[in-house]
Amino acid sequence: MTRFLALPFVLGVGLLAVSATGAAKLKVVTTIPDLADMTRQIGGDQVDVTSLATGVEDIHAVPMKPSFAVRLNRADAVVLLGLEAEHAFLPALLEAARNPKILRDAPGYIDCSVYVTPLEVPTRIDRALGDQHPMGNPHYNADPVMAKEAARAIADGLSRLRPEHEADFKKNLAAFEEKLDAAIARWEREAAPLRGKKFVSYHPDLIYFAERFGMEPVGTIEIRAGVDPTPGHIADLEERMRREKVDLVVRELHYPAGLAETVARATGAKLVELPVMVGGVPEAKDYISFIDYDLQTMLKAVKGS
């Protein structure tokens, strides 16, 4: 009889022990792979990380799949770029996920933009100016210095959720920053030929990259952010490119090739195709290799132009 009574108790304790070990990892869902890489490096063995986007998508057009809601439903934290970069899919998915732990302002909502100084903060909010981001351009992940700020926000967020591991997260953050600092120093040396180089991109998602490495964005193929061009705009853009001697056209890989090729051909500019996230091309396996890829591709184009 005693054995009978003891059995459920032993099983219960065993299950608790198993679940305790199983629950040791924080389930973290990031919106883009860049943040997934940083979260893995900072969270170490305390986190189990997945990303909604694979890296080839347009951050403003990530498909709103119900399977994402399932992932978010089970998450302890969601890590996002913020500045409304994910406005097209994340708010609706968070509502569908029914997980109060990761709603905006909950401890599990880790907005990586809190320490970022945004560029292109609009002085006037008006849809005549395109699909504006009222808090500023959200594509800061292309700037490795801003990435350090994002990493800091991730460390803060993980520490909020697991204060007992705060020291580990800080140590991992320091190691990540050190690695990134070394890469930044190298990139800044290598980027010397890019200084002052003018370029046109499809969408203003390389502003931070340009700012970091001294390049000069002259315009976009889109007439306004998020709005496809008219023939008149393309004619004006080409004229301006000729006048200002712009010899680079950047096509972010998630935008159609045809128009960028046409503009490049018409102006004699070199066409550069760049990913804007980790995973955008097979070579961009993690954050450092992503910036490496973009920088080296841009350098090749500049040297060849």
Partner 1 sequence: MERVHRRWGAAAMAALLAMGSRRVRAEDVPLEELRRELHDLQGQLEKLQGQIKKQQQVIDKLSAEQPKAPPPPATPSGSTAADEERLKRQVTEQVLRRMQPALAAANKTFPSQFNPAIGLILDNVFSYSEKDRGDFEFRAAELGVSASVDPFARGYAIITGSPDGFDVEEAAIVTTSLPYNLTLKGGRFFADFGRLSKFHDHDLPFVNRPTALDRFIGGESQADGVELSYLVPLPQYLTLTAGAYNKLGAANDRVSNTTPRDFSQFTYLGRGATFFNLNDANSIDLGTSYAYTPEVKLDGGASRHLAGVDLTYRYVPLSQASYRGLIWGSELLYNQEDRPVGGFPGATSALSLARTLGVPADAPAVTDPPPLVFKRRNAASAYSYLEARLTRRFYPGFLFDWAQDIDHVGGDTKAYSPYLTVWASEFQRFRLQYTRLDAPEGNDNQFFLQWTVILGSHVHGFRDR
Q: What angle do CA 153, 154, 158 make, to 5 degrees?
A: 120
Q: Name the segment binding partner 1 (CB under 8 A); options: 10-18, 21-29, 63-71, 290-298.
A: 63-71
Q: Name the segment binding partner 1 (CB under 8 A); options: 6-14, 42-50, 61-69, 234-242.
A: 61-69
The answer to whether residue 23 forms part of the interface with partner 1 (CB under 8 A) is no
The answer to whether residue 63 forms part of the interface with partner 1 (CB under 8 A) is yes
Closer to partner 1 by Cβ: residue 253 or 271:
253
The answer to whether residue 188 forms part of the interface with partner 1 (CB under 8 A) is yes
The answer to whether residue 284 forms part of the interface with partner 1 (CB under 8 A) is no
The answer to whether residue 70 forms part of the interface with partner 1 (CB under 8 A) is yes
What residues from 244 to 263 belong to the interface with partner 1 (CB under 8 A)?
253-256
The answer to whether residue 64 forms part of the interface with partner 1 (CB under 8 A) is yes
Contact pattern from residue 137 through residue 176 relative to partner 1, giving x for each residue in contact according to CB under 8 A and a dash for the rest: --------x---x---------------------------
The answer to whether residue 271 forms part of the interface with partner 1 (CB under 8 A) is no
Task: Count residues near partner 1 (CB under 8 A).
Answer: 45
Q: Tell me how far, at minimum, the Cβ of 203 lies from partner 1, in Å.
A: 10
Q: In which residue are the tokens 């340009």 written?
A: 210
Q: Tell me how far, at minimum, the Cβ of 194 lies from partner 1, in Å.
A: 14
Helix (H, G, I), strand (E, B) or coil at 289: helix
Q: Tell me how far, at minimum, the Cβ of 268 lies from partner 1, in Å.
A: 26
Give me the DSSP letters along 98-157.
Answer: T-GGGSTTSTTEEETTTT---S---SS--GGG-S--TT----GGG-HHHHHHHHHHHHHH
The CA distance from 256 to 205, in Å, is 15
The answer to whether residue 73 forms part of the interface with partner 1 (CB under 8 A) is yes
The CA distance from 234 to 222, in Å, is 9
The answer to whether residue 103 forms part of the interface with partner 1 (CB under 8 A) is yes
Residue of the chain from 58, 76, 168, 205 that contacts partner 1 (CB under 8 A): 58
Structure tokens given for 273: 């195709």
What is the residue type of 156? Answer: D
Closer to partner 1 by Cβ: residue 194 or 246:
194
What is the CA 263 to chain-centroid distance, rounded? 27
Where are the extended beta strands (E) located within the chain?
26-30, 47-51, 77-80, 109-111, 198-201, 216-220, 248-252, 270-274
The CA distance from 98 to 87, in Å, is 18
Task: For residue 235, give every residue at least 6 positions away whose Cβ sits within 8 Å of its Cβ, in sequence order, or none.
Answer: none
Where are the extended beta strands (E) located within 36-177?
47-51, 77-80, 109-111
What residues from 201 to 230 belong to the interface with partner 1 (CB under 8 A)?
226-228
Residue of the chain from 57, 156, 238, 292 that contacts partner 1 (CB under 8 A): 57
Give the interface with partner 1 as residue ranges (CB under 8 A).
54, 56-58, 60-67, 69-70, 73-74, 87-89, 91-93, 95-98, 100, 103, 114-117, 127, 130-131, 145, 149, 188, 226-228, 253-256
